[in-house]
Structure 1
Amino acid sequence: MSELDPVIHATARLRITATLAALPAGDQMSFPRLQGLLDMTAGNLSTHLRKLEDAGYVSPTKTFEGRTPATYIELTTRGRRAFEDYTHTLRELLGDPS
C-alpha cells in the first residue's frame, strides 16, 4: 500500500492543494482570493506555498495590475497528479473501493 505524500499531508497544504485542484487545469487563483478562501495569514500561506512550489506542485505567476504587484497561483500538472495520488491512497487506507 502506498504512503500519503508528506508534502500534501500537512493540513494547510492539503487545503491549498484541494482548493487549487477544484479549478480546471491551467486556471489560476489570485493570492488574496486564495488567502480569503482559506482564512490564512499572508505569511502562513506564503510559507506553505513555498513548500508546494519547491516540490513542483504549484507555480506562482507574478505580474502587475497597473502599478500594483499581483501574484497568481496555479496547480501544476505534477501537483494535480500528486493530489490525485494522495486522494487515491487515502481512499485505499480508508477501505473505500472506488
Structure 2
Amino acid sequence: MAEPRNSRAPNQPPVDPLIHAPARLAIMATLAAVEEADFRYLQRATGLTKGNLSAHLAKLADAGYVHITKTFRGKYPWTLYRLTPQGRAAFEAYRRAMLEYLRRAGQAPSAPGPPSNAPEPEA
C-alpha cells in the first residue's frame, strides 16, 4: 500500500498546511509584523485581490488565527485584522519549522533566532 502524499519524513518538523499556502503565509507574515491592519493595508502588502484576500482571511479567522474587528471610522465601516495569540503561536511554530528545514539543508544559521537584516560582511 502506498504512503499518503501528505505524510512527512520521520524527524521532520511539522508544517501547518493552513499557513503554508502562499497567500495565507503572506497574510500571516504581514500581520505578525504589526499590531493590527486594515483591509487596504493587507491588500497592498500581499498583492492579493479583494475576493482572494477576503476568502483567505475568512479561513484564517475560522481557524482562530486572525481576529476581525468591525467598527466605524467616522461614518464609514472599517475592518481591522490582527493575529490572535493562537495565530501568533502557530506562525512562530511555522517559522521555526521552516528555519529547521533550511538549517538541515545547510542554508540557514544553526541558531533558530529571527532572521538578520544585517548586510553580509565584505571579504
Please indicate, yes or no, whether the TM-score normalized by the shorter chain is above 0.5.
yes
TM-score by length of 1: 0.90
Q: Does 1:65 align with 2:73?
A: yes
Q: Which has the higher contact order (CA 8 A, sep 6+)?
A: 1
CA distance in 2, matches of 1:2, 1:56: 22
**1:30 is matched with which residue?**
38
Q: Percent identity?
A: 51
Large movers: runs of 4+ above 6 Å: none
TM-score by length of 2: 0.73
Q: Which of 22, 25, 46 is 1:11 aligned to?
A: 22
Q: Which of 48, 62, 67 is 1:54 aligned to?
A: 62
Matched positions, count: 95
Bigger helix fraction: 1
- Structure 2 stretches of 5 or more lacking a match? 1-11, 112-123
- Structure 1 stretches of 5 or more lacking a match? none
Give the C-alpha shift of residue 30 in structure 1: 0.8
Q: Give the number of the structure whose alpha-carbon radius of gyration is greater.
A: 2
Which has the higher mean CA deviation after the structures are superposed, 34-43 or 49-58? 34-43
